[in-house]
Structure 1
């Protein structure tokens, strides 16, 4: 069946940013027959009668950005009670000053890419159900959350579905919840916050937020909420005292922590000793422990509510069993499905064999309880330093404390799950006649695979020219109790390592899978990813490999022909090309692909190549979003970028709308030291980056952030030059300054808190950064014309202009494409190489032939 697909038309206001994206799921798995696997240690032929291949790949790995793989914790560190994060050494074998990349890390990198390229199963996905809370969420996700905790009685009347109780240890040392007494239809009441009273209360033993209290309550009935727009059923505390008194009953005040504008706390009635405790299973206890945040541990203690006698709130399922529990009324709830359960069953069948398993090995457990294992036929050595290299380390003093990588996790379902309706849509009008919109998203409670599936394989974007400031923590670090920061000793870009990939008894197709991945790794336009710190741009590596195939008959015929063992291995470029071609034919054939001639033409593989593209997009477009992002147009100057749960676009949409799609990204060997080419400044000119544009009723103004300054400059579209009609956020520009509007004149409430210049930008033009191989970000939507295009061919010109830059604008039949020169002239182009596959937006050099001033044909001449 066809699975839900992420759309390519997410509106600009609904698009999220992230340092990662996804290679989409395959429509189907390409499988192999287990009976065709060769016996271990026997060298023969494959099922087609061809000789199985053995040999090795000599590989040289060059770091293109800082790289770090952590060393294992030493016995000395362990005895001192140190955590792994406190061990900063790069992995090593004998000498900590000689970094080594473990073969296991290289194996994981290669296997992951082989899984994607060979359309193997999707199996390395968490089977734990995420836990969530959605208080105040206005999307469909928040609506579903509230339905679990509140029963809709109709006409905007709601009854809480949570209950109060107490944690207890059973005779078997398991956890259970003893329900509180049900008084008047509820087990808890609400009390108005009174700090003078609360300060007199006695703490419950071993509980940080629970206090003994004596109360009198009113009836359990509906009260008005939000000015009468809603009605919620509650019991109110009418009288309270720290000591017993006539007319008061015993209860427990359960404080849930400070929240702005909170007016009440919950009071849970005393335990009901006549009711049997409700059992909790180990999975529920494990899920509770895993969802405990650092804030919750600070409030409740390290164990949370897992303390005998601790007050809790809980929700029951339809069978009357505990669904989940927590310390407050609006508790976190587990989703009914895990990410693994959102992988279509046809893509994760354990009884089937895929190519990654056939090459790297597997251990399977079948439904009948039987197990079956098969050893991999590939072994990968550690990568050791190429000799005679100096200044290996990235930081002057070796050790770096990196920024905390606390970005979105799988609970951020709007990123990790396919959202087929990411844009808001109108559902009616408000009471005052304004349009009313709704955002309907799918989460782990949605039906899978009917409504949604996981996005696919998660990969991180590359970030070229990573500087120490991009990695190093700049905030002041508290030495006591800091459990989040770690230490590392990354090596610098340009460090070379060498390693071997040995293979035995691989078919030509299987060897081709390995070589296809390594071919991408050696291409100037791509880099692979390895090690820690990927969201910060670390771990980009280039791998060059040479194939050596062993001639077994020749080897044994000359085994003792000299004073050394005769290996019978020889470098074989022809075999490499043949194996890659065989692999591609096999996969395309199994997929019943009728149009594509190479893997690179498939949408899924295009997404993979997008993610591996070097030097990668503008880092400003591949950052984590922020809860408090500086924004001169927002109230208080900050904006929560997570509001409305924006959705992560596909790699294709990202490339098309934010950078020049699939432009060749060749780079010199010394990547880290390559300077960015910039347009020279004229007198009084200033550089900056567009922060926002298209504001106001006429979408006619915006702001530029000055380079090297935290001030924003006002700009109106009337000040754009060079034929510009508009600007886009993130565009680099050059401008001059002139007298302009005061900050208060553009809608700011507090002048002293807004770092907005009292001048405005004049004569604004785009700045193209980098060479044609590394184009500046392309604006979203319509292409902005450049201010000074190169001259067109003279009128009546006949002849050939050699090696000029062209861009593919249309794919044609055969090996032809329609291209456009930088002057806007179009012609059909031939002689393109078969690899990589042609794509709209690709740029290269071509010889363009003119007749009487008009281009008649073009011939491909290279990527640079």
Structure 2
């Protein structure tokens, strides 16, 4: 089997970020005129076995134990933080909030398979040298000094250092056995040069040259390329050039190197550097211009991708991710801002408590962790046979990662295949249909915001849609349904449906498309499909076995994550062309104006969005008017935007409106607006020839007499 499958999928990102029209009025202290305070009582029922762990115990050669979270009374509880996180994520997606559920990092790569970009663009066009990096407190910058290096076979190292270094050991284990401060001696005249240009030390302990042993993590043994003993070697860094390089470029390369390698190895080297030289690194230098391209902790250093996660988000949602925009999730759950514009959460969750006394079962599992370096899933792959990576000009994140809601739990532990207890976890599972009772307390919410909370709890009262909570989600554990038992608003009992409908109407009205709806958007359809176990009954919902060869076939075949299917039809991931990163009418209004500095005010971005905000506010105002009033208000705007000499062409429409008024086809409010219009100097309604002037004056008088 060599197609892409996983227990998760992605809700596609949208260019549009919705900023509620009341965002500039949100306050914890000043109530909305229609503000609501109260509570939601709900019951959470797990449809598959559930583990929400609080303690992790790991003894040597024993699986990691994940024990259920219990309160002081010994009751099983789902912590409020777990519940709030799950509901907020659902609300962020459904309300088209900003995409923030991502670490801002830049990934690195080192794919050395045949024909890979790394081999073509990096290895073949560059040479590898050795060096030491050391932080200079005086200049507050990293410094790189180059040196020489040579291979040392472990069999030659053992008699001299009296330690048994083996390839299977990690770099940290090797350094613990033979510290970096240990000097080894050798004779440079006896160095043997291999085909790739690397020298090998033949006689360790003989000669006057001294060097430091440098270790890498274990190399994967490929017996097609060489026997296991072929991989039994490490490196010796020796000598020192007079050239010391520093500057912003080196700082960037060092930061990339330390952030893209094994965390345990990096932390060990940071805490245990060579006292004089620093941390050993391999240096990739361009053969043509001698520029330093990368630093790494292995001979083939990892290269940093061009685009970071945040850069790709900004590319998709553009300036909607700026602090100037307050999305609905931020308005409800709070957010941090400068200029005193931070918002407190107006919603709080209690722990959900199980009232029954139950005995959990202990189950061994292997808990995998998805990696964003898996390009077949984490990036949109629009074209076959043309893999997009984080270097590509058209790279686009796949979106919000969501585990599939499954209708059953299956452990992936096999005693015959998995004999390494270090990779195992033993989790406590409560049986299906266990009930937990919890409460959501809210303060000063708009009816639309309360509807958003209720919609997110119940997926708009779709009982078949489930939330994923706790450990083992990739195996089907933790699929939970939430049912609202009671809703209290300002001391009165209410029904959730009326508020959910209010939220839906708000999103449908705000969705910036004339031909498509919010409920039919790719984002909503994917969110609902992933939450419905029926969607995944006939799909493979397990991780790819990276040891089976499937992963290499996927890379070589440039395969990508298949689209979700509902009722045999693929869900489209591309949103309508007319969707843009529009802002709300309240952009930079009220309290939000404090965020606009003079520097921002001068940017093209601000000017464009200010104009767009005014247009949206204008459209919203017109939409709220009765038809006859809107017709007059629209005509008035046309006068304002028409040059003076051309305004008389619009007088014909004013005359027609006057006759409508006289024929009692306009409402009193519309007549008042019409009188204001014909009295406006901009309209200049009396500017006609002598023959028509008396007729025009009589018409104006007749209309005014209607009031």
Relative to the length of structure 1, the TM-score reads 0.55
Residue of structure 1 equivalent to 2:348: 379
Residue of structure 2 equivalent to 1:569: 492
The one of 611, 621, 627 equivalent to 2:540 is 621
Counterparts of 1:209 and 1:285, CA distance in 2: 27
- Per-residue CA deviation, residues 630-669 of structure 1 (Å, 9 max, x unaligned), is 9xxxxxxx8855442654435435874799xxxxxxxxxx
8 Å Cα contact 2:253-2:294 kept in structure 1: no
- 1:71-90 alignment to 2 at 5 Å? 71=54, 88-90=66-68
8 Å Cα contact 2:335-2:342 kept in structure 1: yes
- Per-residue CA deviation, residues 277-331 of structure 1 (Å, 9 max, x unaligned), is 657649945862662177xx5xx99549963156431236999886643332212
Counterparts of 1:404 and 1:593, CA distance in 2: 42
Residue of structure 1 equivalent to 2:35: 52
- 1:333-372 alignment to 2 at 5 Å? 333-344=303-314, 345-365=318-338, 370-372=339-341
Question: RMSD value over aligned CA atoms?
Answer: 4.3
Q: 2:382 matched to 1:420?
A: yes
Shift of 1:71: 2.2
Q: Classify 1:194/1:122 alpha carbon distance in 2 versus 1 (closer, same or farther; 3 Å).
A: closer
Shift of 1:441: 1.8
Q: Classify 1:382/1:625 alpha carbon distance in 2 versus 1 (closer, same or farther; 3 Å).
A: same
Shift of 1:54: 2.4
Shift of 1:390: 5.2
Counterparts of 1:473 and 1:31, CA distance in 2: 52
Q: 2:392 matched to 1:446?
A: yes
- Per-residue CA deviation, residues 153-203 of structure 1 (Å, 9 max, x unaligned), is xxxxxxx3332123557577989565345xxxxx456x6x86654555558
Residue of structure 2 equivalent to 1:19: 7
Counterparts of 2:120 and 2:181, CA distance in 1: 28
Question: Which structure carries more strand by proportion?
Answer: 1
- Per-residue CA deviation, residues 47-77 of structure 1 (Å, 9 max, x unaligned), is xxxx22222222111011111222268xxx8
Q: Classify 1:252/1:512 alpha carbon distance in 2 versus 1 (closer, same or farther; 3 Å).
A: same
Counterparts of 2:347 and 2:516, CA distance in 1: 30
The one of 28, 45, 51 equivalent to 1:62 is 45
The one of 87, 100, 103 equivalent to 1:110 is 87
Which runs of no fewer than 5 residues in structure 1 stay unpaired?
A: 1-12, 46-50, 152-159, 182-186, 224-233, 425-439, 552-567, 631-637, 660-864
8 Å Cα contact 2:214-2:237 kept in structure 1: no
- Per-residue CA deviation, residues 371-392 of structure 1 (Å, 9 max, x unaligned), is 521112212111112x4x4545
Counterparts of 1:209 and 1:413, CA distance in 2: 41
- Per-residue CA deviation, residues 21-68 of structure 1 (Å, 9 max, x unaligned), is 0000013111125664343244441xxxxx222222221110111112
Q: Classify 1:319/1:288 alpha carbon distance in 2 versus 1 (closer, same or farther; 3 Å).
A: farther
Residue of structure 1 equivalent to 2:660: none
Shift of 1:615: 4.5
Residue of structure 1 equivalent to 2:117: 143
- 1:269-284 alignment to 2 at 5 Å? 270-272=238-240, 274-276=242-244, 278=246, 281=251, 284=254
- 1:253-268 alignment to 2 at 5 Å? 256=216, 257-258=218-219, 259-260=221-222, 261=225
Shift of 1:506: 1.6
Question: What SS does structure 2 have at the residue aligned with 1:516?
Answer: helix
8 Å Cα contact 1:167-1:305 kept in structure 2: no
8 Å Cα contact 1:418-1:455 kept in structure 2: yes
Shift of 1:343: 0.7
- 1:460-471 alignment to 2 at 5 Å? 460-467=403-410, 469-470=411-412
Q: 2:368 matched to 1:405?
A: yes
Relative to the length of structure 2, the TM-score reads 0.66
Question: What SS does structure 2 have at the residue aligned with 1:164?
Answer: strand
Residue of structure 1 equivalent to 2:636: none
Q: Classify 1:144/1:210 alpha carbon distance in 2 versus 1 (closer, same or farther; 3 Å).
A: farther
Residue of structure 2 equivalent to 1:31: 19
Shift of 1:536: 1.2
The one of 455, 458, 461 equivalent to 1:516 is 455
Counterparts of 1:255 and 1:592, CA distance in 2: 57
Counterparts of 2:138 and 2:417, CA distance in 1: 48
Residue of structure 1 equivalent to 2:509: 589
8 Å Cα contact 1:252-1:311 kept in structure 2: no
Q: 2:602 matched to 1:602?
A: no
Counterparts of 1:210 and 1:524, CA distance in 2: 68
Question: What SS does structure 1 have at the residue aligned with 2:391?
Answer: coil
Shift of 1:470: 4.5
Q: Which has the larger radius of gyration?
A: 2
Q: Classify 1:144/1:645 alpha carbon distance in 2 versus 1 (closer, same or farther; 3 Å).
A: same
Shift of 1:577: 3.1
Q: 2:498 matched to 1:578?
A: yes
Q: Classify 1:196/1:377 alpha carbon distance in 2 versus 1 (closer, same or farther; 3 Å).
A: closer
Counterparts of 1:380 and 1:301, CA distance in 2: 37
Shift of 1:99: 0.3
Counterparts of 1:175 and 1:31, CA distance in 2: 41
8 Å Cα contact 1:16-1:646 kept in structure 2: no
- 1:123-138 alignment to 2 at 5 Å? 123-136=100-113, 138=115
Shift of 1:133: 1.6
The one of 518, 525, 530 equivalent to 2:464 is 525
Counterparts of 2:153 and 2:442, CA distance in 1: 73
Residue of structure 1 equivalent to 2:615: none
8 Å Cα contact 1:414-1:443 kept in structure 2: no
Counterparts of 1:236 and 1:291, CA distance in 2: 23
Counterparts of 2:451 and 2:406, CA distance in 1: 29
Residue of structure 1 equivalent to 2:131: 165
- Per-residue CA deviation, residues 581-612 of structure 1 (Å, 9 max, x unaligned), is 33222222222333445x43222211111100
Counterparts of 1:602 and 1:658, CA distance in 2: 14
Counterparts of 1:585 and 1:337, CA distance in 2: 38
Question: What SS does structure 1 have at the residue aligned with 2:101?
Answer: coil
8 Å Cα contact 2:106-2:304 kept in structure 1: yes
Q: Classify 1:651/1:99 alpha carbon distance in 2 versus 1 (closer, same or farther; 3 Å).
A: farther
Question: Which structure carries more helix by proportion?
Answer: 2
- Per-residue CA deviation, residues 395-454 of structure 1 (Å, 9 max, x unaligned), is 1xxx33321314x30111231111222x22xxxxxxxxxxxxxxx32222223xxx0221
Counterparts of 1:219 and 1:531, CA distance in 2: 56
Shift of 1:499: 1.1
Counterparts of 2:553 and 2:263, CA distance in 1: 21
8 Å Cα contact 1:114-1:356 kept in structure 2: yes
The one of 549, 553, 556 equivalent to 1:644 is 556
Aligned residues: 540
Shift of 1:529: 1.2
Residue of structure 1 equivalent to 2:282: 313
Residue of structure 2 equivalent to 1:179: 145
- Per-residue CA deviation, residues 787-813 of structure 1 (Å, 9 max, x unaligned), is xxxxxxxxxxxxxxxxxxxxxxxxxxx
Q: 2:188 matched to 1:215?
A: yes
Shift of 1:107: 0.9
Shift of 1:540: 0.4
Q: Classify 1:284/1:269 alpha carbon distance in 2 versus 1 (closer, same or farther; 3 Å).
A: closer
Residue of structure 1 equivalent to 2:475: 536
8 Å Cα contact 1:188-1:235 kept in structure 2: no
8 Å Cα contact 1:403-1:473 kept in structure 2: no
Q: Classify 1:470/1:243 alpha carbon distance in 2 versus 1 (closer, same or farther; 3 Å).
A: closer
Higher relative contact order (CA 8 A, sep 6+): 2
